[in-house]
Amino acid sequence: MRLKHMIAIIGVCYGIMAVLPIFVGDIRFVMNIMIMCLIWAVVASCWDLMMGFAGIFSFGQVAFFVMGAYCSGILAIEHSVPPVLAILMAGLFTAVMGVLVGLPCLKLAGPYIALVTFGVHMALQPVLRGKIGIAIGSGGSVGLLTIPPVSIFGYSFSSANIVPTFYLTLLLSLSCVLVIMFTIKSYWGVAFLALKDSQDFAMSLGISAFKYKLMVFALTSFLTGIIGAYYGHFYGVLSYRMLDLDLFSILMVMMLVGGLGHFPGSVFGAFLVVAGSELMAPLGAYRAVTMGALVVILVLALPNGMMGLFIGWRKRLSAG
């Protein structure tokens, strides 16, 4: 997809989002859903960059998200670091963790990478909950309950003043997504695609698989960590329960709905899925049944997600 189209789609998505508070700014329930859309859009996009573009089948995205959230929360609570600074430090921390996790993965084949990264996810829960976690201030099994909200020049962005907070989230989310977009369209992105299509050939052209794969680990975990940290400060509470499989599956659904490897489909997918899932929350178990069935049907019927559908329509339009 050309840069022009990407910008257009991201522009439309975020543009609509930016206008919506005029109509629903006083309905906190809807504003919350929108903030969640913006947050998960970044995580889904990072995951898409990893899986769809770099072809690394990593399952560690939620783990990095939680690491970032906890890191920033602990810094803010235990060491009284101002939230803005704490968020940045959390991003750097998760970037380092990303590289550390990435290193052993580079030698492995698909399902093994998935397993190692998922192993990090699975092991994070007992670590946060156990003695190690309590020693670093994770609050053990209770989690963190008193994370201060982000405040800039004495103005605090919390759920009490939701509209300004929404715009701050929008700004953060948009910048993360733009970083991802420019990465995909830069020399890096081309290198990723080349590596994914034929690693041997790309390497013979002098593209270092090692360097680029590590970079993609660092970048995606940095962005995921930042948005995770922001999530922690927004909600003010964190619990290791986020590492249960539910969130993991929903994120996967977001990418699928958008179209794997069809950025900015994941942004679009996140908006649709978060909104749909929240609207279905009163349905209880039927929500999960529907979500599951939707994934199966989507993979079979819409291999490239909603984005594939758009591309198809555009082609048909230009042909006819």
Partner 1 sequence: MKKILRFSTIWLFMGVFLFSSTVMAADTLPVGVPIPMTGWAAGSGADYFKGIKMAIDEINESGGLLGKQLEIIRFDSKGFEPEVVMQAADYLCGQKNVASVHAGWAGWGQDVRAYGKYDAPFFADDGSQAAVDIFKEDPAKYYNIYQTTDVGVEQAKSMFRALMALPYEYPNKKVVIINTDDSWGLEVGNTLEKSFKESGWKVAKRETVPYGINEWGVILSQIRRIKPALIHVEIPSGQENITFIQQFLKKPSNAIISLGWGITPREVVDALGNSADGIVGEMPSGLPGPKAPNAKAQAWVDKFVGLYEHQVPAGAWIAYTAVKAWAHAVAQVGDAYDFKAVNAYIKEHGYEGELGLIKWDQNNVLRAQSGAPVVHYQVQGGELQPIFTDPPLTPYQGSQFLTPPWIK
Partner 2 sequence: MFSEDTILLFYEITDVIIAGLSTGSVYALMAVGMTLVYGVTKAFNFAYGDFFNMGGYFAWILIVGLGLEFGGYPVVLLIVMPLLFAVGYGLEKLLVAPLRKRKDWENKVMMMTLGLALFLTSLYMVVFGVRMKSLPPILEGTWEVGQLVFSYQDIMIFVMSISGILIFAWVLNNTRIGMAVRAVAQNPVGATIVGIPKERIFATTFAISTVMVGFGGILLSQKWFINPNSGGIIMVKAWVVTALGGMGSIRGGLYAAFIIGMLEAFVGWMFGMSYGIIALFVLLLATLVLRPQGLRGKGE
User: Among partner 2, partner 1, none, what binds residue 309 when CB lies within 5 to 8 Å by partner kind?
Assistant: partner 1
Residue 19 tokens read as: 């206008």
Q: How many residues bind partner 2 (CB under 8 A)?
A: 42
Q: Which residue ranges make up the site for partner 1 (CB under 8 A)?
A: 27-30, 32-33, 36, 126, 129-130, 140-143, 145-146, 159-160, 231, 235-239, 241-242, 244, 246-247, 272, 276, 278-285, 287-288, 290, 294, 297-298, 300-302, 309
99-108 burial code (b ≥16 CB/10 A, e <16): eebbeebeee
User: d(Cα 246, Cα 265) in Å, to the nearest integer?
Assistant: 21
User: Among partner 2, partner 1, none, what binds residue 295 when CB lies within 5 to 8 Å by partner kind?
Assistant: partner 2
Q: How many residues does the chain have?
A: 320
Q: How far is the CB of 297 from partner 1 (least distance, A)?
A: 6
Residues 6+ apart with CB under 8 A from 300: none
Q: How far is the CB of 290 from partner 1 (least distance, A)?
A: 6
Could you tell me how many helices (H) and strands (E) the chain has, helices first? 15, 2
Q: Among 11, 15, 292, 312, which residue sits at the site for partner 2 (rule: CB under 8 A)?
A: 292
Q: Among 16, 126, 141, 161, which residue sits at the site for partner 2 (rule: CB under 8 A)?
A: 126
Stretch that binds partner 2, among 24-32, 121-129, 215-223, 273-281 (CB under 8 A): 121-129
Binding mask 249-288 for partner 2 (x = CB under 8 A): x--xx--x---xx-----------------------xxxx
DSSP per-residue string spanning 230-265: HHHHHHS-B-GGGGSHHHHHHHHHHHHHH-TT-TTH
Q: Residue written as tokens 């704490």?
A: 86
Binding mask 80-119 for partner 2 (x = CB under 8 A): ------------------------x--xxxxxx-xxx-xx
- CB count within 10 Å of CB 2 equals 8
Q: How far is the CB of 108 from partner 2 (least distance, A)?
A: 5
Indicate the residue among 123 and 309 with the shorter CB distance to partner 2: 123
Phi-psi region of 206 (alpha: psi -120 to 50; beta: other; left: phi over 0): left
SS3 156: strand
- CB count within 10 Å of CB 154 equals 5
Q: How far is the CB of 278 from partner 2 (least distance, A)?
A: 17
User: Among partner 2, partner 1, none, what binds residue 108 when CB lies within 5 to 8 Å by partner kind?
Assistant: partner 2
φ and ψ of 146, to 5 deg: -130, 45
Q: How far is the CB of 233 from partner 1 (least distance, A)?
A: 11
Tell whether residue 303 is a contact of partner 2 (CB under 8 A). yes
- CB count within 10 Å of CB 24 equals 14
User: Among partner 1, partner 2, none, what binds residue 97 when CB lies within 5 to 8 Å by partner kind?
Assistant: none
User: Among partner 2, partner 1, none, what binds residue 143 when CB lies within 5 to 8 Å by partner kind?
Assistant: partner 1
CB 70 within 8 A of CB 232: yes
Residues 6+ apart with CB under 8 A from 278: 33, 36
Residues of this chain that bind partner 2 (CB under 8 A): 51, 57, 104, 107-112, 114-116, 118-120, 122-123, 126-127, 130, 245, 249, 252-253, 256, 260-261, 285-289, 291-296, 298-300, 303
